[in-house]
Structure 1
Amino acid sequence: MRPSTFKKNVLATNIAILLGSVVSVGAYAADEAAVDENIEKIEVRGMRASNKAAMNEKRFSNAVVDAITAEDIGKFPDKNIAESLQRIAGVSINRGFVGEGAEVSIRGVDPNLTQVQMNGQFVASTAWFSQGSNDRGFNMDLMPSEMIAGLEVYKSPVASLDEGGVGGTVILKTRKPLDLDKNTVYFSAEGNTNTLADSEYGVGGSALYSWKNDEETFGILAMVSSLEQIGRGRKAENYWEEGWSASGIAGFDQDRTRDAFDITAQFQATDDLGFVLHAFRTNVDATNTNQNFLVIGADADSMTNTDGSRIAPNGLPLTGTVNKANWLAQDTNTRRAEMTSSVVDLTFDYQGDGYEVSGTIGKTFADGGNGGNANGLWGQKIDGINGITVDIDMDLQDSMKLVPNGVDLADASWQDFQGGSLARTELEDEEVYAQLDSKILVDWGAVSSIETGVKYRSHDNTYRGFGATLGDTSHITNINQFADGTLSDFDEVVTGGTPTSYVKINGESYWNALNSAVTSWDEQLGNYSKIEEDIFAAYVQGNFDGEYYRGNVGLRYVNTKTTGSAYNGNLTAIDSSDGEYSDFLPSFNLAVDLADDVILRMSAAKVMTRAGYSQLAPGYSGLPSEPPESGRYQTRRGDPGLDPFRATQMDIGLEWYYNESSMLTGAIFSKDIASFISTKTIYEDLVDVPVPGRYEVVVPDQGRGGKIEGLELQWQTSFDNGLGALVNYTYVDAKGQTDNGDSIVLPGSSRNSFNLTGFYESDIFTARLAYTNRSEFFAEGTAIGAGADSFDAQDFLDASVTFHATDFLDISLEGVNLLNEITYQRHSTGAETVRVITDNGSRYTLKAAFRF
């Protein structure tokens, strides 16, 4: 039987006692002498030094690793961690609802197969978008960049590294007090805005204090951060060919507030024995309002067709005039989304005479969800009598036309309340972990040390949904009750007389009005799912070196037991089903010094990533509590017995470090994917559900396999005049086969991507200009239904300028998406018409930082 939460805590306590016993025995038995290591020390104080530190981390690593190093506290290159990661060769990112970096793809692999850790451990996180998949990805919005000392991107694994990254592993590193000067102080204040925000500003700040005693044996570091981030999105959405004849213009506003703290206590009990207690917590209020003005349910028989109009598969002309439809209305959704993530762990390390022992026990917990989605429909039917018609052109490549006749979208008087609903999702994610590692120095020819370790993880992920029963809503009559000006700035996404502004709703006021009518909250049992995993891993790794070479070879064994629980079709009882699999994951890394400044690097490994929680959940999630206005009945279900993603990877590269701050490197890589999981949509007639009907059901599809091959090139240099550059290019060819043999392009893969970064640094002035390009790619989008779509090529230009006013004070200005890139999302079915066009505006941040 799977351990309860109480049993998990008892287990963690027992392991802590065991680890303490190991340390005590080792401490008394060992000599006072510690093992000296040849480590290059780099005092990082500027952008040039930061780039040099990252380059050296790559150069001296025994695996294929790239790094980003914060040059000082609060000086991580970008406000958004994902947007910094895209500067690394082979790394691309997907952007979320407000255009910020959200997901990381490494070497053309689906972002869901990228593992993200903090200090080498999993961090629990949740999401707020109820139509999105519940996966294992780390939510980049949760982590303030000021709290990051640096990060590492492992493109090739080592046996001592946790399994789980078919694409790669990103490790975020936080600071420790004994690494900083005594009484280090840092604080900052900033303001930010978006060009679509109508003079609205977000403000925030961070503060850090780090202390250690004179003996440098004990220290405490505390950092807090609070920030309101202004996010906007203006969209045109075209679902005309998807069977429910709806299209419109949408505005998404999210003023996200994030509060976070990080506390680290470090105790160096002896020269050989040290402890680190780390606690991290972050809370994100992601309240948002989405307003979508739609034509819904057009009647094809009554449409006036434009001559030569192309007809969609559902029989609807793509160009003409809509004379009858279910609605011309705003579909508004306000979500009081909130997410919290916490980490607490204790780490020790002991260095004995010829050996090292280290261990960690910890727990990470997250909860979140949409906080209650208040949906409302405001408008009128198009009935052929009230004089309302709509001219449409849904056959455009780069725009959309939707011109209402007989009404003004900016006029609230005709936008009557047609009904609403209130529903919420609740997610919990929890992991208890314990590991013990050892390293023994040996003299076995080329083998210099042996590393071994064991790790246990107990993981629970729970998804629940609740629907509100509404009583009297007669107090809600017209959108004018909640009007808050107009939504505008749609000029970039529509054409041909389409309105570029309409009535803006005060989402919070409407949420409160709808909530006041709630008579009860009832759990939507069909949405319940729980995934429980017990994971045991053990490894052995040999490290070797010689006069002209170094590397490692290892084997990691991992066993995964999964139980998935959900309500049966009649919603009368919870059914559970199990899955179990084991993997042996060998790895090999070799670096050969062809010359003092030239390295030949080779690696090979087997890797795996477990399926996402939505893919494992056996029940039907996202079932509606009442018939949807759109007429689309949609749901998802998974399978706890799914095999993980598995792949065999190899790469070979050549690195030339032609001076102390410059490098030129190239690598070719290959991933042979033996199994992967994609999705497909099937249709099922569901009877024993709250709203019976014929549903579009998104289900996991166990693919036959795939192949990813590619090339990476990168160049980094710094000149004596303060100028410098970082340039990289990646080519990826990624293809796969579904279970029925159909060829597909694997998600997350762009054929070509490159980054150009130029910078200048002097004693009083630092500037950076960064350009990023990626070709078209396939990924989960932000459209209604949250399906996978094809995205057009994207280009982003970012810049930052910092004035070093004094030795202690910096004033900086950062601009993101300076070219105001408009993104295009197209149907995964191959239809040429655009599905979603998005304008997220440009973001600007002004910041003052003080440190001493």
Structure 2
Amino acid sequence: MLHNNVRKSVIAVKMAIIAGAAVTAMPVVAQDDGAKEQQVEVIQVRGIRASQEANLNAKRYSNAIVDVVTAEDIGKFPDKNVAESLSRITGVGVSREFGEGEKITIRGASSSTNRTLLNGQTVATADWFILDNPGRSFNYTMLPSALVSDLEVYKSPLASIDEGSIGGTVILRTRTPLSMEANSLNLSLEGQYSEASEQWDPQLSGMYSWKNEAESFGVLVSAIKQDRKVVRQGFEVLGWPNNADLDAKLPSHIGVPRFEQDRERETLFLSLQSRPNDNLDMVLNILDSKVDANNHNQNWLIFVNNNAGSLTNTALENGSIVAGEVAAAGTAAYNFINRVSSTETRAIDFDLNYSADNFELHTQLGHTEAKGGTYRETSWEYGPAGGTGYDFDLRSGTPTANTEVDATDPTQFRPGWIWGGEKPTTDEETYAQFDFTIPVQKGAFTAIKTGAKYRMAERTQDRIAYSWHGPQTMTGNEDVAGSYLDHIFATCYDWAQCGLFNGTVNIDAVVNGNMTQQMAHNRHAMEQIAFDGLNGVPADFARSKNLAEIWTVEEDILALYVQGDFEGEGFRGNVGVRFVDTQQTSGGYEFSGDSWGLWTIDREWLTPEVLEWVETKNDYSEVLPSLNIAFDLSEDQILRFGAARVMARQDWNNISSSITYGSLNVAQPTGSASNPNLMPQIADQFDLSWEWYFDASALLAVTYFHKDIKSYRSFSTFVDQRYWEEGEVWVDVTFTRPENGPGGTTDGIELTFQQAFGDYGVSANYTYTNAQRDEERQLTRPGSGLVEGTSRHMMNASVYYETDTLSARLMYNYRTEWYKGLHFNGDELWNDSYGQLDASFGYNLTDTITLSLEAVNLTDEEVVEYNTDTARLFSIYQNGRRFTAGIRMAF
């Protein structure tokens, strides 16, 4: 059989990559897809070309359509987390809102409909950013690439792999001590410079692996610390409501923001492995990763929709007002927002493999939990006394915005409001998995695999609102009238008072006009006033639960599967079926509207007359068959076919019992509501692939994929009233709610080419994706007829040069525009086409010491977002270039 001819070299190369060191003439017992035990010789594999050969071999001899990136190859990328490494794979797209890869799409499927598994299991995740809603997508900022030995992207499913993906399943493998040399030590010391922050940040990592002489027990410890000063400047439009009086869409707010964050990531990983005999192998993995993500944002805003009746000199483009002027008394304000934010993930996993004469047993037990979010937010608004005249023009590639008031003069700004709160989230899962493999000789079948898995998951969100104007906030200070908020505003009657002014800042990266000339605020003074006190008066604020935004979702999943592996003369594959039963319980508060949806928990103030915790249950079962077959057309050509039914559960936030809304001091305020009765997304998919391995490090492949989506998520709207505390009135809010809608189809073609030419090499891939929905496109229904996450064209190109002492790689990643879903204000949000050029260089001082230089976003690309029509600009963000220099040592 052709595919058995080179299986020895496959195993050797893959094991050498994982080990990362030379191991020669060592007998290894290996098994792959039902292959018989074989004695192989593990060889040393180093460098870009060798690692790419290992990647191709792993892909070539798999029984599914899968792409692989090994640790050696990851080390040659300028990537600081796994998402950026994944962006090099055919059909994978990455979002980079803050300049670093965070979430991925696969074959046009949105980030929430793809799963990421660490050693085959879920990793809990909780977002740090207050505007992010808990979803199914994994936040890759939690996982440094140095932790991973290899990663696999399964585009055609197996019955034995967890369900939950429409586009593909990413499986990350960590290193194990018995696969490495005893007393292996790897160190990396790097400094990263960011043009946006104009600051150097440290990047440190270390890994030590030990095993006894009998190679029956080993310990691996890895520690990673990566700091980064994040600065993002830009231009924002916070909504495009339709104004009935003008019969046009126009900007709700226009702002020029500056975001700063001190991001500190620390990751600890421990692996204990015991192999007391040839039949038993046990691994205990413990992961703890934390990102401190404190951030502050300032935004100088003009409120265009509030002043719609005063607009003159307007310009209309495609039914949208994209330029205009307000002569005087226009509404404008500074928002200064400080946030204490973090996210932390922990996981403990026990993996046991036992081989007997007539069966194999695999057991995996574990628990993972995450907590994160914004633990304290303080937002202050100051506006110009008497308003201001202003003008704006969004018609060129660089927008323009000007105000009459001098935005650098702190004496011109009077207090408007202070608000704040907390938004912590948690994610937790406990799992138990049992898999049996029974060798058989029944026709072409070589093994029967069967197993069961039980998962208990819980996702929660809490929401606390701070009210500095609340009652009893001046207890003990009866000589001062009003609330603590009144005391702040009476004392800090303009921004020049109380130490709040901290000089000026120029935000001119992506926008023209004098709105780029701004004040800088003193974060320390602002938080000291809000939380410590002012002029001898202790700070105080009421803490109230925002009942509509507090929820818990519990999910119990039982999965059973059976899979048969087969092979014959010139073919191999597997066929199976997975049965999955899902039980969801969504809990939230049901309450009366007499307390504005708030319940004060630290004093007597707001308590709704009706307050009850209510739960909604939603149960469903799915049968998911799958087939994968590979035909050896010749010694170096393979034809693959795959067919399967797949599923993806809806985002946690969408199936919760929550309702959120934005600012109420604007015309036509908007909000979002959830739907606990949503059913999962189901798809039938087919894959056909031709692969030609015309050299050891060469590949030409063409893949066609088709997905018949049974139901996409749609949205409906309703209007409800909310109380505006500052204005002391009830206002109508238009809420958007998800629902199960019609399905559609996605098909596409993937092209992959890779080849080495002596010391040079090239790899390139291209993906065409055509995604269509059966739902009618209605511009009055946001999101209708659109598919999230799909770029019609995506491509990657990489060239490298490598000798024994020098390596260099240049990489370009590009994708055309894609729909990102609904903005928090309910508008459709699109990301414009994005391309990024990266580079990496390495110089081997010795066999164990390498100097490295890396560059990210060399062309200084900007993230541009718009509202369906490119004329309706949403945002332009500049994250800047990043450069990293360092030294890597392996002993």
- What is the TM-score with the length of structure 2 in the denominator? 0.86
**Aligned residue in 1 for 2:374:** 370
Structure 2 counterpart of 1:139, one-letter code? N
SS of 1:348's partner is strand
Work out whether 1:380 is the aligned partner of 2:384. yes
Match of 1:834 among 873, 884, 887: 873
Structure 1 residues 784 and 290, CA, compared in 2 at 3 Å: closer, same or farther?
A: farther
**Aligned residue in 2 for 1:760:** 801
**Aligned residue in 2 for 1:8:** none
Counterparts of 1:193-212 in structure 2 under 5 Å?
193-197=193-197, 199-212=198-211
Structure 1 counterpart of 2:763, one-letter code? L
Query: Quick one: distance in 2 between partners of 1:113 and 1:420?
Result: 38
Post-superposition offset of 1:485: 4.1
Post-superposition offset of 1:76: 5.9
Post-superposition offset of 1:321: 3.2
Is there any run of 5+ residues in structure 1 with no aligned partner, and where? 1-33
Work out whether 1:217 is the aligned partner of 2:220. no
Does the Cα contact within 8 Å between 1:240 and 1:318 map onto a contact in 2?
Answer: no
Does the Cα contact within 8 Å between 1:780 and 1:786 map onto a contact in 2?
Answer: no
Post-superposition offset of 1:800: 1.0
- Please say which of residues 106-115 and 566-575 is displaced more in the overlay: 566-575
Query: Quick one: distance in 2 between partners of 1:749 and 1:725?
Result: 26
Query: Quick one: distance in 2 between partners of 1:672 and 1:178?
Result: 44
Work out whether 1:309 is the aligned partner of 2:326. no
Query: Quick one: distance in 2 between partners of 1:603 and 1:38?
Result: 32
Post-superposition offset of 1:233: 1.4
Post-superposition offset of 1:635: 3.2
Work out whether 1:774 is the aligned partner of 2:774. no
Query: Quick one: distance in 2 between partners of 1:772 and 1:382?
Result: 49
Counterparts of 1:81-480 in structure 2 under 5 Å?
81-96=82-97, 98-197=98-197, 199-239=198-238, 241-242=240-241, 245-296=252-303, 300=307, 303=310, 305-306=312-313, 309-310=315-316, 318-326=323-331, 328-383=332-387, 388-394=388-394, 396-405=395-404, 407-470=405-468, 471=473, 472-473=484-485, 474=488, 476-480=492-496
SS of 1:341's partner is strand
Work out whether 1:727 is the aligned partner of 2:768. no
Post-superposition offset of 1:60: 0.5
Match of 1:518 among 526, 540, 547: 540
Does the Cα contact within 8 Å between 2:707 and 2:745 map onto a contact in 1?
Answer: yes
Q: Deviations over 1:412-462 (max 9, x none)?
A: 332343221121101011000000001011001110000000000001011
**Aligned residue in 1 for 2:15:** none
Post-superposition offset of 1:111: 1.4
Match of 1:560 among 561, 575, 582: 582
What is the percentage of aligned positions where both structures have the same residue? 33
Does the Cα contact within 8 Å between 2:829 and 2:865 map onto a contact in 1?
Answer: yes
Structure 1 residues 718 and 464, CA, compared in 2 at 3 Å: closer, same or farther?
A: same
**Aligned residue in 2 for 1:598:** 637
Q: Pairwise CA RMSD of aligned residues?
A: 2.5
Query: Quick one: distance in 1 between partners of 2:188 and 2:554?
Result: 42
Query: Quick one: distance in 2 between partners of 1:558 and 1:149?
Result: 30
Query: Quick one: distance in 1 between partners of 2:139 and 2:641?
Result: 32
Structure 1 residues 512 and 672, CA, compared in 2 at 3 Å: closer, same or farther?
A: farther
Structure 1 residues 796 and 233, CA, compared in 2 at 3 Å: closer, same or farther?
A: same
Query: Quick one: distance in 2 between partners of 1:37 and 1:669?
Result: 35
Match of 1:822 among 839, 862, 884: 862
Structure 1 residues 419 and 269, CA, compared in 2 at 3 Å: closer, same or farther?
A: same
Structure 1 residues 460 and 39, CA, compared in 2 at 3 Å: closer, same or farther?
A: farther
SS of 1:48's partner is helix
Q: Deviations over 1:774-802 (max 9, x none)?
A: 11111148x76485412221111111111
Post-superposition offset of 1:686: 5.0
Query: Quick one: distance in 1 between partners of 2:888 and 2:616?
Result: 54
SS of 2:785's partner is strand
Structure 2 counterpart of 1:725, one-letter code? V
Counterparts of 1:543-582 in structure 2 under 5 Å?
543-570=565-592, 572-582=611-621
Does the Cα contact within 8 Å between 1:332 and 1:377 map onto a contact in 2?
Answer: yes
* Number of positions where the alignment pairs a residue of Structure 1 with one of Structure 2: 800
Structure 1 residues 482 and 845, CA, compared in 2 at 3 Å: closer, same or farther?
A: farther
Structure 2 counterpart of 1:513, one-letter code? I
Structure 2 counterpart of 1:846, one-letter code? A
- Please say which of residues 154-163 and 745-754 is displaced more in the overlay: 745-754
Post-superposition offset of 1:59: 0.4
**Aligned residue in 2 for 1:846:** 885
Structure 1 counterpart of 2:224, one-letter code? S
Counterparts of 1:627-646 in structure 2 under 5 Å?
628-630=664-666, 633-646=669-682
Post-superposition offset of 1:574: 0.8
- Please say which of residues 448-457 and 42-51 is displaced more in the overlay: 42-51
Counterparts of 1:471-550 in structure 2 under 5 Å?
471=473, 472-473=484-485, 474=488, 476-480=492-496, 481-491=499-509, 493-495=510-512, 497-516=513-532, 517-550=539-572
Structure 2 counterpart of 1:536, one-letter code? L
Structure 2 counterpart of 1:760, one-letter code? Y
Post-superposition offset of 1:673: 0.2
Does the Cα contact within 8 Å between 2:502 and 2:520 map onto a contact in 1?
Answer: yes
SS of 1:511's partner is helix
Does the Cα contact within 8 Å between 2:92 and 2:104 map onto a contact in 1?
Answer: yes
Query: Quick one: distance in 1 between partners of 2:74 and 2:671?
Result: 46
Does the Cα contact within 8 Å between 2:258 and 2:507 map onto a contact in 1?
Answer: no
SS of 1:146's partner is helix
Query: Quick one: distance in 2 between partners of 1:802 and 1:648?
Result: 45
Post-superposition offset of 1:638: 1.6
Does the Cα contact within 8 Å between 1:231 and 1:253 map onto a contact in 2?
Answer: yes
Query: Quick one: distance in 2 between partners of 1:522 and 1:678?
Result: 33
Query: Quick one: distance in 1 between partners of 2:431 and 2:46?
Result: 36
- Please say which of residues 411-420 and 582-591 is displaced more in the overlay: 411-420
- Please say which of residues 416-425 and 35-44 is displaced more in the overlay: 35-44
Query: Quick one: distance in 2 between partners of 1:390 and 1:135?
Result: 39
Does the Cα contact within 8 Å between 1:702 and 1:739 map onto a contact in 2?
Answer: no
Query: Quick one: distance in 2 between partners of 1:256 and 1:461?
Result: 24
SS of 1:439's partner is strand
Query: Quick one: distance in 2 between partners of 1:574 and 1:431?
Result: 23
Query: Quick one: distance in 2 between partners of 1:377 and 1:499?
Result: 16
Structure 1 residues 269 and 506, CA, compared in 2 at 3 Å: closer, same or farther?
A: farther
Post-superposition offset of 1:691: 8.2
Q: Deviations over 1:464-517 (max 9, x none)?
A: 1011232424254444423444333423x223x344332222434423432222
Post-superposition offset of 1:409: 2.3
SS of 1:568's partner is strand
Q: Deviations over 1:67-124 (max 9, x none)?
A: 110118966652232122111111111222x222111111111111110110000000
**Aligned residue in 1 for 2:792:** 751
Query: Quick one: distance in 1 between partners of 2:831 and 2:750?
Result: 22
Structure 1 residues 490 and 344, CA, compared in 2 at 3 Å: closer, same or farther?
A: same
SS of 1:337's partner is strand
Does the Cα contact within 8 Å between 1:704 and 1:739 map onto a contact in 2?
Answer: no
Post-superposition offset of 1:299: 5.3
Does the Cα contact within 8 Å between 2:85 and 2:145 map onto a contact in 1?
Answer: no
Query: Quick one: distance in 1 between partners of 2:201 and 2:182?
Result: 33
Post-superposition offset of 1:680: 4.7
Query: Quick one: distance in 1 between partners of 2:786 and 2:307?
Result: 34
Query: Quick one: distance in 1 between partners of 2:724 and 2:591?
Result: 5
Q: Deviations over 1:678-720 (max 9, x none)?
A: 4454433358999853223231131210110100000011121
Query: Quick one: distance in 1 between partners of 2:390 and 2:436?
Result: 71
Does the Cα contact within 8 Å between 2:322 and 2:872 map onto a contact in 1?
Answer: no
Query: Quick one: distance in 2 between partners of 1:101 and 1:39?
Result: 38
Does the Cα contact within 8 Å between 1:131 and 1:786 map onto a contact in 2?
Answer: no
Query: Quick one: distance in 2 between partners of 1:661 and 1:312?
Result: 51
Query: Quick one: distance in 2 between partners of 1:468 and 1:645?
Result: 38
- What is the TM-score with the length of structure 1 in the denominator? 0.90
Structure 1 residues 535 and 299, CA, compared in 2 at 3 Å: closer, same or farther?
A: closer
Match of 1:717 among 747, 750, 755: 755
- Please say which of residues 766-775 and 839-848 is displaced more in the overlay: 839-848
SS of 2:185's partner is strand
